Amino acid sequence: MCNNGIASGDLSIAEIEEQKLSRPEELEDYLSLALFWTLGAVVFLQFFTRYVLNNSMGWTEEIARMLLVACSLLGSSLAIRKNSHISVEFFYRYLSPRGGVIFSRVVDLLRIVFFIVLLFTCYKLAGRTFGALVSVDVPKKVLYYIFNGMIGVNLIRSVHVAVLNWKNGGSSLNLTAPPVTNPDYKASFTDWIAPGIIVILGALTIWALLAGNELYFMFALAFTVIIIGLPVAFCLAGSAYIYILVSGMAPDVVIAHRLINGMDSFPLLAIPFFILAGTLMNSVGITDRLFDFAKSLVGWLPGGLGHVNVGASIIFAGMSGAAVADAGGLGTIEIKAMKDAGYDPEFSVGITAASSTIGPIIPPSLPMVAFGVMASCSVGQLFAAGFIPGLLMGTALMAMVAYMAHKRKYPREDRFRAGFLVSSFKRSFLSLMTPTIIVGGILTGIFTPTEAAIGAVVYGILLGFFYRTLTFKKFVSISMETIDTSATIMMIIGAAAVFAWILTSNQVANLFAAFVMDNFTSKFMILLTINLILLVVGCFLEPIAAITIMVPVLMPLSQMIGLDVIHLGVLMVLNLMIGLLTPPVGTVLYVLSRVSGIKFERCLVGTAPFFIPLIAVLILITYVEGFSLFLPNLIYR
């Protein structure tokens, strides 16, 4: 029989890349894709009618919000199947192979229980819901039943994944590090780190419950299941549900109600479309052009590629708004180039990790969108406030690169060549227009953040066609990646909204503000306290979850000391970005560890020197408000 296949060695680069593309595999994938494209069409219609026809359609906003919730719930099942829900990996990375199997089975079981509870509460909520959508006169009860069906899909997928893991020896944990991947594994004391912490937290959880301190019980329970490896969204919402059962403060349907309402916000529509824009930029060759331009601009300096790394991140920051997108997309190019040029692997990963934190500071910024929603303040002003601090971060990191390059005798690129700069600028000119459109449109008030995001997507698609690097199959793959990433973030926002509501209902914010004001008299010490708290929180919680929970807690205190809410937003995001570089969360380091093939511990060592400039900039911005407030005051006030 003739074999018509082509050997992998005979495949072209384009064919190999095409094989890596994500494709719809299950029914929910096709439904998610259809919902996401419909959402894009509705938001684009609003954009088009407002700016072209000068007659905005009011119904598009309500429909878009409902589609966002639907995409998030259905996309969550895709993330379950791909094991991409955000979890804290640090502790279970040191488990023995046997321990990894046990923890994975516990996570599978807890996830199933969580969606059973959510299915039950959402069903009860649907039965108690009245009224209809204003735009299309659809009863809200019907809408909640549809949402309930999507939660049911998550439950079915959770059971399916658990059965497959049981049969095939799979894992719901990202066990990509030794000892699980080490064929020569030998038992050691590190095998007991995670179990030991769980025993301690479990004891504290039981003690808090028996002592009648329900809030401490909720926190201890949340951190216990986080360490086990359950995704952060399910930990927050699940522990909140148990708290409500124990305390009896509200009916259990509030879990489903608050979770869904937490995702039902028009400004949050910017999140999936900024993610889509960033994924497009990474996939259609724009990042390569930006890297070459940054190389021509600063590559001739001592430690040239380190400066290029920072410069490219500053430019890319004006497109994606996410540190992980920078690290996973641009970081792959940067680390390879630096390794090939003879730089230490640790240094290459360290500066890549540190520079990726600039992404959510310079606009656009996904964390600042979340902060704007939670604090009910202008996202445009937050974007403007992050511009100067982001440039200060870049300058400080480049100063550290120059110092380390001098001490370690790192190479520099060829001397400055004007011809190379001009040619790379011409090649990347259209790509460089992307941040101009996004940032310029928002800062001048032409676009809202959501409209800027959809505009960036449209421009990215046009660039993909112009560069002939975007095909329909690639766009499907990009959309699937966006649905996956967006769903994980939106589920965290919804779950954290439940958690934050419980804290607000228990007057935690006022109690915390009173405690700080009673123990600290100077604004200097209070600001230092806020920074220390946020740095610690950033070590344990994903930034979006931390923002959703901490904004209601810190707002009363900031008002008491006269701290501008926009300045608070910049401080919070910068603190939490530093948290992305620190275990146990350390999301950026985990991503770079995977793409570089370097152990997590070595990544952390390489990143350590760059905490110095980042902390220095944090202190400077904390006590000199003008760096944050100059542009918002100039443009908006």
Name the range with the highest mean pLDDT among 19-33, 153-167, 307-321, 415-429: 153-167
**How large is the average pLDDT for residues 42-56?**
78
Q: Is pLDDT at 445 greater than 60 in this prediction?
A: yes
**What pLDDT score does 589 carry?**
83
Enclosing H/E stretch for 585: none
- pLDDT band (50, 70, 90) for residue 13: very low
**What pLDDT score does 285 carry?**
78
228-276: per-residue pLDDT in tens? 889 999 999 999 999 999 999 999 999 999 999 999 988 899 899 988 9
User: What are residue 582's phi and psi, to 5 degrees?
Assistant: -120, 140
**Hey, what long-range contacts does 189-193 have (CB within 8 A, 24 or more apart)?**
190/94, 191/94, 191/95, 191/96, 191/99, 193/91, 193/94
Q: Is pLDDT at 10 greater than 70 in this prediction?
A: no
Cβ-based burial of 616 (10 A; exposed 0-12, middle 13-18, buried ≥19): middle
- pLDDT band (50, 70, 90) for residue 1: very low
Q: Is pLDDT at 180 greater than 60 in this prediction?
A: no
**What pLDDT score does 132 carry?**
73
DSSP state of 23: -
523-556: per-residue pLDDT in tens? 999 999 999 999 999 888 889 999 999 999 999 9
Residue 111 in contact with residue 97, Cβ under 8 Å?
no
CA 328 to mean position of chain CA atoms: 12
Name the range with the highest mean pLDDT among 97-106, 157-166, 181-190, 445-454: 157-166
**What pLDDT score does 593 carry?**
81
Average pLDDT, rounded, for the chain: 86
**What pLDDT score does 398 carry?**
93
- pLDDT band (50, 70, 90) for residue 9: very low
**What pLDDT score does 18 carry?**
53
DSSP state of 376: T
Q: Is pLDDT at 17 greater than 70 in this prediction?
A: no
**What pLDDT score does 145 carry?**
94
Q: Is pLDDT at 28 greater than 70 in this prediction?
A: yes
410-424: per-residue pLDDT in tens? 776 667 777 778 888
CB atoms within 10 A of CB 298: 22
- Minimal CA–CA distance to 65: which of 373, 329, 339? 373
**How large is the average pLDDT for residues 103-124?**
94
Q: Is pLDDT at 174 greater than 90 in this prediction?
A: no
CA gap 249, 500 in Å, rounded: 14
Residue 424 in contact with residue 308, Cβ under 8 Å?
no
Map out the domains of the chain as residue ranges.
26-264, 269-494+504-636
User: What are residue 132's phi and psi, to 5 degrees?
Assistant: -145, 160
205-221: per-residue pLDDT in tens? 999 999 999 999 999 99
Instruction: Tell whether omega for the bond before 584 is within 30 degrees of 0, i.e. cis.
Output: yes
Least confident among 222-226, 321-325, 523-527: 321-325
**What pLDDT score does 182 carry?**
58
**How large is the average pLDDT for residues 497-501?**
93
- pLDDT band (50, 70, 90) for residue 2: very low
**What pLDDT score does 16 carry?**
42
Q: Is pLDDT at 314 greater than 90 in this prediction?
A: no
Selected residue with higher pLDDT from 91 and 353: 353
Name the range with the highest mean pLDDT among 265-279, 353-367, 611-625: 611-625
Q: What is the value of pTM for the model shown? A: 0.89
Q: Which two tokens stand for residue 420?
A: 């190379």
**What pLDDT score does 175 carry?**
59
**What pLDDT score does 100 carry?**
80
CA gap 52, 150 in Å, rounded: 36
**What pLDDT score does 363 carry?**
87
**What pLDDT score does 322 carry?**
76
**How large is the average pLDDT for residues 373-401?**
93
Q: DSSP string of 55-95?
A: ---THHHHHHHHHHHHHHHHHHHHHHHHT-S----TTGGG-
93-110: per-residue pLDDT in tens? 677 777 888 888 999 999
CA gap 39, 464 in Å, rounded: 21
Least confident among 25-39, 133-147, 178-192, 245-259: 178-192
Residue with tokens 């990347």: 428
Q: DSSP string of 463-517?
A: HHHHHT---HHHHHHHHHHHHHHHHHHHHHHHHHHHHHHHHHHTTHHHHHHHHHH
**What pLDDT score does 486 carry?**
92
